[in-house]
């Protein structure tokens, strides 16, 4: 179990540490105010803290409301963005921009983007995606989806 972000990153293979750190910096530099960086679900997470959204996550109200998560998996890096699942226009924008900026096909589930080609991670696009939704926007979309 990891207790903080730095510990999580240091436990990764060296080549993954650099990539995860670069994605982390990209998200942190672009994420609107109010989100908090934590370890959640054994991953690096960006959440709406209880001080802003006391109800927490409906699946487990003791957990803050999840928004973005980042993980190093065995064969890829995962970026989970709950806003893509909740907002069809954001998903449409993202898939269109990904096709324009990346040479490999998008590998994506409902909210999970899998990066298998480490040399083709669209850091700029990740930054733009992180900037698209404020805490208030995310809470509103989350509540509408419930």
Identify the structural domains of the chain with CATH numbers, from first to last: 5-145 (3.90.1150.200)
Work out whether the CA dihedral 83, 62, 23, 78 comes out positive or negative: negative
Q: What are phi and psi of 13, to 5 degrees?
A: -60, 150
**Mean pLDDT, rounded, for 22-31:** 98
Q: Whole-angstrom Cα distance, residue 91 to residue 110?
A: 10
- State the average pLDDT for the chain: 96
pTM: 0.94
**Mean pLDDT, rounded, for 38-50:** 96
pLDDT at 53 (0 to 100): 98
Residue 50 region by backbone torsions, left for phi larger than 0, else alpha for psi between -120 and 50, else beta:
alpha
Q: How many CA atoms lie within 13 A of 42 on its CB side?
A: 5
């Amino acid at each position: 179990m990891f207790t903080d972000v730095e510990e999580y990153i240091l436990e990764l293979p060296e080549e993954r540490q650099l990539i995860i750190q670069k994605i982390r910096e990209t998200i942190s530099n672009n994420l609107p105010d109010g989100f908090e960086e934590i370890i959640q679900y054994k991953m690096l997470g960006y959440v709406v803290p209880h001080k802003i959204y006391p109800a927490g996550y409906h699946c487990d109200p003791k957990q803050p409301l999840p928004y973005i998560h980042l993980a190093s998996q065995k064969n890829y890096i995962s970026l989970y963005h709950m806003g893509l699942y909740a907002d069809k226009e954001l998903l449409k924008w993202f898939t269109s921009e990904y096709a324009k900026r990346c040479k490999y096909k998008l590998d994506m589930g409902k909210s999970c983007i899998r990066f298998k080609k480490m040399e083709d991670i669209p850091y700029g696009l990740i930054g733009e995606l992180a900037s698209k939704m404020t805490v208030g926007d995310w809470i509103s979309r989350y509540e509408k989806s419930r």
